[in-house]
Chain A
Amino acid sequence: MGEFRMPSLGADMEAGTLVGWMVKQGDRVRRGDIIATVETQKGLFEVENYEEGVVQELLVQPGTEVPVGTVLATLTSEGIAPPAIPAVAQPVAATEPAVKPAPAPPPPQPALSPQKRLPVSPSARKLAAELGVELGAIRGTGPHGAVQRADVERAAQEKKGAVPTQVPPAAEKPPVVDYHSGMRQAIAAAMSRSNREIPHYYLETAIDMTAALRWLEGGNQRRSIKERILPAVLLLKAVARALAEVPELNGLWIDNRHQVQESVNIGFAISLRQGGLIAPAIHNVDLLSLEELMAATCDLIARTRSGHLRSSEMTDATITVTNLGDLGVNTVYGVIYPPQVALVGFGRISERPWAENGMLGVRRVVTATLSADHRATDGHRGSLFLEALNRHLQDPEKL
């Protein structure tokens, strides 16, 4: 039997609110399936499952806030039917061979879901999403019990009015989370801890981007507008390459020990329109092609802004990259996100006077900075990293 627990989605998360289940009792779940949504101070996240099995029992009602580690649901092992479900209802095993010699007519869909689809008018569904009202909690008063706009409006009113009430009936009204102050406090806690615990050192170098940009622009001319690769992606990839040479920066400081990580999962700082900041991880940047990395970055930004991040993206980052170039800033001196041990910052790519080989020219230049944890690495290793970063950016076709 397995247990599914409230995950820790960041160094400072103590508790989370279960917003909704994406599975129900009797559902088969696989590794990587999204099985619940959880609200933390940093927003709404889709939580993945790490075990194969069948959902046996959902222990926590949506709307409940529980400490990290609380068992939310129990899973039975693969193949064992949960007692409540008749054996015939078990779907065929996942290892079913793809081709059968004589395919029998497909077995009738097992009546696994006693839960009927909620009758909700399209307009009510849209309004509920806009007002952040959970549909499952609304009693519909329309024809056939359908939830209509008026029901959603009433529920939104009640939700507003019900905030002071301390004991809402379970599953009826998820607590209201103030994104702004919640997110602000989470950032405040993480950054205070960083400043308190991490002895930062800072290095800075100017990198001539002329060759890299020329190469990128040449390639982009052959790509459709949607597929064009942004300079930021080139920088991410170069960071991953340089980390292969100085792997100590790709790590975590946990329990007073430096733990170098193998996967290069770069936390990519994304500012949110409503204010605040999240740095979800792009997994295995070292293994992605530039095209794949561009797609992954776009996807991540879109999901961050729409509140569909996965739990692993919140926990797996091994280093952070922050890029403030769009805002016209030249240099970033970043604060490390604990327990990581380094942060790479990029400013604006701009034309600057550049002296080389006794000649003065105009080049497109970016200032790269490294903020690193002096407990884990020294300035010498940090310098090697920036030097490697520069070298890789001079040889863009190999990225």
Chain B
Amino acid sequence: MNGGERKARTTYREAVREAIREALVKDERVFLMGEDVGHYGGCYAASKGLLQEFGPERVRDTPMSELAFTGAGIGAALGGMRPIVEIMTVNFSLLALDQILNNAATLLHMSGGLFNVPLVIRMATGAGRQLAAQHAHSLEGWYAHIPGIRVLAPATCEDARGMLRSALEDPDPVLIFENQTLYPMEGELPVSAGGVDIEHARVRREGRDVSIITYSASLFKALAAAEILAAEGISAEVIDLRTLRPLDDAAIMASVARTHRALIVDEGWRSGSLAAEISARIMEQAFYELDAPVERICSAEVPMPYARHMEQAALPQPETIVATVKRMVHANG
């Protein structure tokens, strides 16, 4: 982005709304549907005002049936539309998992390449707002297991604004996971911000001593930790994965080759996690670059607690990142 461009202050929520709005304006095949996206303006207010602007045909409130309306979205996509389906939280998306896995992800394959499913599903994910064990898990790693879909995790306002457009341009299903703690986050965006690359991870902070590999809301915890570590003379590189499937192996390995240590911060549960997958790939592809075992910081393996102090204790935090990195980097022999 060149420096001369005019920038405006915005929020993550605002960036998401602008992205949807722009899509509705530019392409008449695009429509938004989901629970409370219309009259209520979206559970996280990401679609506030859109019903008034575009009418009930293009901003559709649905019954509380994730399976039905996700299936309807797949049908619409097959019929030539460009639906944006919003699912309130990732926990509820499990009701639609049959449609996502057995239809959206497989139809191109099952039809011998005849039918693409140009569907975008947005959903909120993550903990930190005291929504407890049925509304606050981070299951995007489960979706990253599924061949046939692309999984995006925008962490910044720029990505929240730009990834939707790129996702709509993709002829195949794309899932976008918006961490619910990020909606109020402020940022600056060029007025003319457009689509962004959805193939590659980004180095959000360069460093020499350790690569902290993360995505979504944990990115900011990693950046905060890197700041604290810098004051103690440890230079941490922070990688924002951005796209969880397919993973950008090259970016991960290039960073590990620079720092020789890797810490993965993933809000999902540890066992069988995306962090486990990344760790395995590092062993497979960069074993001889490693100067220390790969480490992971994930959420505690409990249903997400409601009580604030317990919820915070269950999540990765800057302090745990700092302590882990110091253990990895510092000599204690």
Contact = CB atoms under 8 A, between A and B. Distances in A.
A125 to B, nearest CB: 8
Contacts of A123: 260, 288-291
A140 B289 contact: no
Contacts of B291: 121-124, 142, 148-149
Interface string A119-140: 0011111100000000000011
Given A122-B290, A123-B289, A126-B288, A143 B260 contact: no
A144 B327 CA distance: 11
B28 to A, nearest CB: 55
A185 interface: no
Interface in B248-298: 260, 287-292
Contacts of A125: 288
Interface in A136-183: 139-146, 148-150
Nearest to A146: B333
A373 to B, nearest CB: 50
- Tell me the interface secondary structure of chain B in the complex: loop
A143 B290 contact: no
Given A140-B333, A142-B333, A121 B327 contact: no
Interface hub of B260, B288, B290, B291 (most chain A Cβ within 10 A): B291
A136 to B, nearest CB: 16
B288 A148 contact: no
Contacts of B2: none
A14 B160 CA distance: 74
B282 to A, nearest CB: 11
- Tell me the interface secondary structure of chain A in the complex: helix
Interface hub of B287, B288, B289 (most chain A Cβ within 10 A): B288
A142 B326 CA distance: 11
Interface in A90-140: 121-126, 139-140
B260 A149 contact: yes
Given A142-B292, A148-B292, A149-B260, A122 B331 contact: no
Interface residues of A, number: 17
B233 to A, nearest CB: 13
Contacts of B292: 121, 142-143, 146, 148
Interface string B157-168: 000000000000
B290 A150 contact: no
Interface residues of B, number: 12
Contacts of B287: 122
Contacts of A144: 333
Contacts of B111: none
Contacts of A139: 333
A273 B53 CA distance: 74
Contact of B333 (A122, A141, A149): A141
Contact of A122 (B288, B327, B328, B332): B288
Contact of A145 (B288, B290, B333): B333
Contacts of A142: 291-292, 331-333
Nearest to B331: A141
Given A123-B260, A149-B260, A143 B332 contact: yes
A64 B139 CA distance: 60
Contacts of B331: 141-142, 148, 150
Nearest to A126: B288
A122 B284 CA distance: 12
B254 to A, nearest CB: 15
A318 to B, nearest CB: 42
A121 B328 CA distance: 12
Contacts of B289: 122-123, 126
Nearest to A143: B332
Nearest to B260: A123
Contacts of A122: 287-291
A154 to B, nearest CB: 11
Interface string B305-333: 00000000000000000000001100111
Contacts of B290: 121-123
Contacts of A121: 260, 290-292
Interface string B69-96: 0000000000000000000000000000
Contacts of B328: 143
A125 B260 CA distance: 12
Contacts of A150: 331
B256 to A, nearest CB: 9
A145 to B, nearest CB: 4
A143 B333 CA distance: 6
A309 to B, nearest CB: 25
Nearest to A120: B291
A121 B331 CA distance: 13
16 contacts: A121-B290, A122-B287, A122-B289, A123-B260, A126-B288, A126-B289, A139-B333, A141-B332, A142-B291, A142-B331, A143-B328, A143-B333, A144-B333, A146-B292, A148-B292, A149-B291
Interface of A: 121-126, 139-146, 148-150
Pick the 9 closest A-B CB pairs, nearest first.
A141-B331, A141-B333, A123-B291, A145-B333, A121-B291, A122-B288, A126-B288, A149-B291, A123-B260
Given A121-B291, A122-B289, A146-B292, 13 more contacts: A121-B260, A123-B260, A124-B291, A125-B288, A141-B333, A142-B292, A142-B333, A143-B292, A143-B328, A144-B333, A145-B333, A148-B331, A149-B260
